[in-house]
Amino acid sequence: MEDMGSGEGLAGMGHAPVGGVFPDVAVAPGNSDKNELSTESELRVTEWHPESKAAAMITVPPPSAVTEPSTLMITSAPEAIKAARDFARGWLEVKGVDHAAVQVGLLVINELVTNAHKHGSEPGETISVRLYLSADGPVVEVRDGGDGEPRVKPLTLDSFSGRGLAIVSELAKAWGFRHLASGGKAVYAVLRETTA
């Protein structure tokens, strides 16, 4: 699997992989990682703007990994969302992220995996959840087979859905996506290590 951090990242740190605690890839039966990244892929990420408390879209590469990624392969199904949360909870706790920040991170991960299930894949298709540490904090990347670009929708009082990326924008340090060479996309978010 190629390194997600093909550029300088948000803190200007280059790639320096080190060993991880979790296995590199956990594959659910019948799944394989078909969505390899292209270094020529279009990159989009959001940047944190403290005055707005939300992440705004700019074009920079995602932060570079400073640990080996841990990956969970799941089949697109509602119950797979819980499996992704459980995987991420264990990983974040082992990495020393404080309890409150783990809970916030799980909400972000839940939204990204739910979007991949509902909008980026057909039932039974593969979704991958990839976690790694960067100089900017923990990074989650969710890959699916859909080519649609994720967009934050305006929040309204009368809508019952469509709030996921608005939530991600408020809770993550940064988020963005990139197209995969084999089709589909990878949507990622930089998580907070503390809530203070």
CATH assignment of the domain containing 41: 3.30.565.10
pLDDT per residue over 121-165, tens digit each? 999 999 999 999 999 999 999 999 999 888 888 777 887 777 888
- Alpha-helix residue ranges (DSSP H) falling in 71-153: 78-94, 99-119
192/122 Cα distance (integer angstroms): 31
Report if residue 12 sits inside a domain. no
The number of domains in the chain is 1
Q: Which of these ranges, 13-17, 48-52, 102-106, 181-185, has the smallest mean pLDDT?
A: 13-17
Q: Which of these ranges, 65-69, 81-85, 112-116, 164-168, has the smallest mean pLDDT?
A: 164-168
Residue 101 has pLDDT above 70, yes or no: yes
Report if residue 17 sits inside a domain. no
For position 61, what pLDDT does the model report? 64
Cα-trace Rg, the chain: 15
39 or 93: which carries more pLDDT confidence?
A: 93
Q: Whole domain around residue 31: which residue ranges?
A: 26-190
* CA dihedral over 148, 152, 155, 156, signed as positive or negative: negative
